[in-house]
Amino acid sequence: MSAEMAAATSDHVPRTDKLGNENYVRIIDVRKEFDGFVAVDSVNLSIRKGEIFALLGGSGCGKSTLLRCLAGFEKPTSGKIELDGQIINDLQPYDRPINMMFQSYALFPHMTVEQNIAFGLKQDGMAKDAIARRVEEMLGIVQMNKFAKRKPHQLSGGQQQRVALARSLAKSPKLLLLDEPMGALDKKLRSQMQLELVNIIERLGVTCVMVTHDQEEAMNMAHRIALMDAGHIRQVGTPDEIYEQPTSRFAAEFVGSLNVIEGKVEEDEADFVTIRSDALPDSVYIGHGISGFEGQQVAFAVRPEKVTISKDEPVQKHNKAQGIVEDIAYFGSHSVYHVRLPSGFKIMAHFANRKRWASENFTWNDQVWVSWGDDAGVVLTT
């Protein structure tokens, strides 16, 4: 019976993906409970070799617990975690070929940079000169050779992160875990380090799972993202799939800003759909079919940057409405106009500030038109 069950559970997460790539890490039906609270619930994931994979979600969504299960600090209540064909559930953290870069780096304060990086190598009983060579190499990769003799508290946040990265990569782990890698850095340094981190990880070809609550960070760094909510995986996909083709309202709203128009399916044909909403004067026209039925309650979601704002009435037949500019949020590179429609519904539209005095184009209380294309938005049924 148990063999049958094992075979059945393995089916959730195939050993290879659609393109025939081997799934290096397989998380199969993993569930983690703390005193009756379910932190991670029936999670199935597969991660390819050399991939940077992000677990994205708000606080308490279970992403950190899942990461700690991978590191071995938590044991799944049920389910299996497989790395490179080996089930690692029962391996202690110190026996796993997995290293982690901790959120606040957890550098050993009483050791120098060198000693920190050498710590893991020493545990393997590596020869002294081999350790010295490897430490030197790692310092070179993160460009910290000059700081080898410093103590962690004598380093800036960005430098500490480089040391933490070098320490977690020194043992050439099969899997690298990053826990909120940019959490302790300021915004400017963050975008710079994101690129650098990705460069180093890709250069070394190490498989990497990262946890973050920052959607920008996940999109910048990861090849694929798993969106988590309340212990469940909501959607797995590349950054643009998650952004442009959200499969649920949660996914659409979590990543980026969004206009959500509630309505009912009016016409559902093979090549188009129209949605009737009280918010808009006319029906929304979508240039592709959906697997729905007439009268179904749906939400039409369109991103503000796909909504055009103009003084004159657009020539297109559908998907336009007249309104009044109620709020303007200036972001430098672009402005977000909040346009109030006659129904009282407010729609957001981006306007790129290409000219320096572009903000003179529209101002508060201006009568404007908002419009979007036939394929600008998605219909969300859940």
The one segment of 66-74, 195-203, 229-237, 346-354 that binds another protein by CB under 8 A: 66-74
Q: Does 57 interact with another protein (rule: CB under 8 A)?
A: no
The one segment of 12-20, 87-95, 217-225, 328-336 that binds another protein by CB under 8 A: 87-95
Site string for another protein, 106-145 (x = CB under 8 A): xxxxx--------xx--xx---------------------
Q: How far is the CB of 122 from another protein (least distance, A)?
A: 8
Q: For residue 9, what are the CA distances in angstroms to 4, 79, 132, 366?
A: 9, 9, 45, 59
Burial class (CB in 10 A: 0-12, 13-18, 19+), 150: middle
Residue placing its CB nearer to another protein in the complex, 109 or 332 = 109
Residue placing its CB nearer to another protein in the complex, 119 or 345 = 119
Residue placing its CB nearer to another protein in the complex, 120 or 323 = 120
Residue placing its CB nearer to another protein in the complex, 71 or 378 = 71
**Residues within window 161-220 making contact with another protein, judged by CB under 8 A:** 167-168, 171
Q: Does 34 interact with another protein (rule: CB under 8 A)?
A: no
Of 343, 339, 347, nearest in space to 280 by CA: 343
Q: How far is the CB of 65 from another protein (least distance, A)?
A: 14
Among 85, 93, 287, 289, binds another protein (CB under 8 A): 93
| Residues forming the site for another protein (CB under 8 A) | 71-73, 92-95, 98-100, 102, 104, 106-110, 119-120, 123-124, 151, 153, 167-168, 171
